[in-house]
A and B are shown apart, each in its own frame.
Chain A
Amino acid sequence: KAGVTQTPRYLIKTRGQQVTLSCSPISGHRSVSWYQQTPGQGLQFLFEYFSETQRNKGNFPGRFSGRQFSNSRSEMNVSTLELGDSALYLCASSLRLAGSEQYFGPGTRLTVT
């Protein structure tokens, strides 16, 4: 069974721009979660989608948003990028809601200059 895929793997953007990241979950998984990982803060939960509905949201500003499509694929969007948004963005899928075991993709490394 194919794993979680994320595109692109690397991205460089300028402050003020917006970015969209994509995630394809493991086949049959209906829950997709997004995390931000930085050296200082570690892995922080952004939000979770289950059957196209946002079920949980972490403590991030409204510039961070996402959506899930009927085929469970998910996108995450960050608007008005700030330098502090530079991070590894990880997508994870699971059979059930986000508190259950997560299967992570390789991540998208975003650098904001």
Chain B
Amino acid sequence: TQLLEQSPQFLSIQEGENLTVYCNSSSVFSSLQWYRQEPGEGPVLLVTVVTGGEVKKLKRLTFQFGDARKDSSLHITAAQPGDTGLYLCAAPNSGYALNFGKGTSLLVTP
């Protein structure tokens, strides 16, 4: 089972700041998914990256997949309170189940 390590574990910033969170593994991913989970709700899929070096943008969120497909990052520009939540990365393992990282808990204060 590949281990997905996310950093930082917690992040508290003010509205308008930029931030980057990371997802790393010693294994090569076939693909990687990013989810956001708000309190009291289930995770919601944000994006899937498949190709090494791939960059995807979702409004103020930019997702990057490492060239070697062992790492990924999520950059948020001008964070807003609505971005508050738990950001999870996930990748399929050899048994076709999804492995999740433990997540980065983001708090954006006005």
Q: Is the CB of B100 within 8 A of A56?
A: no
B58-93 vs A, CB cutoff 8 Å, 1 = contact: the mask equals 000000000000000000000000000000101011
A residues contacting the other copy or chain, number (CB 8 A): 25
> A99–B48 Cα gap in the complex (Å)?
11
Q: Is the CB of A45 within 8 A of B41?
A: no
Question: Residue among A48, A58, A102, A103 with the most chain B CB within 10 A?
Answer: A102
Given known contacts A42-B102, A101-B33, is B45 in contact with A56 (CB within 8 Å)? no
| Contact of B42 (CB < 8 Å), options: A4, A45, A97, A101 | A4
A74-108 vs B, CB cutoff 8 Å, 1 = contact: the mask equals 00000000000000001010000111111111110
Q: Is the CB of B98 within 8 A of A33?
A: yes
Given known contacts A42-B103, A43-B88, is B42 in contact with A98 (CB within 8 Å)? no
| Contact of B96 (CB < 8 Å), options: A4, A35, A97, A102 | A97
Residues of B within 8 A of A41 (CB): 102
Question: Residue among B44, B92, B100 with the most chain A CB within 10 A?
Answer: B100
Q: Is the CB of A106 within 8 A of B40?
A: yes
A55 contacts the other chain (CB 8 A): yes
| Contact of B97 (CB < 8 Å), options: A42, A48, A105, A107 | A48
Q: Is the CB of A99 within 8 A of B42?
A: no
A17-33 vs B, CB cutoff 8 Å, 1 = contact: the mask equals 00000000000000001
> What are some 30 contacts across the A-B interface (CB < 8 A)?
A35-B100, A42-B88, A42-B100, A42-B102, A43-B100, A44-B100, A45-B97, A45-B98, A45-B99, A48-B97, A55-B96, A56-B95, A56-B96, A92-B42, A98-B92, A98-B97, A98-B98, A99-B92, A99-B96, A99-B97, A99-B98, A102-B43, A102-B90, A102-B98, A103-B45, A104-B42, A104-B44, A105-B42, A106-B41, A106-B42
Interface residues, chain B, CB within 8 Å of chain A? 33, 35, 40-45, 48, 88, 90, 92-93, 95-103
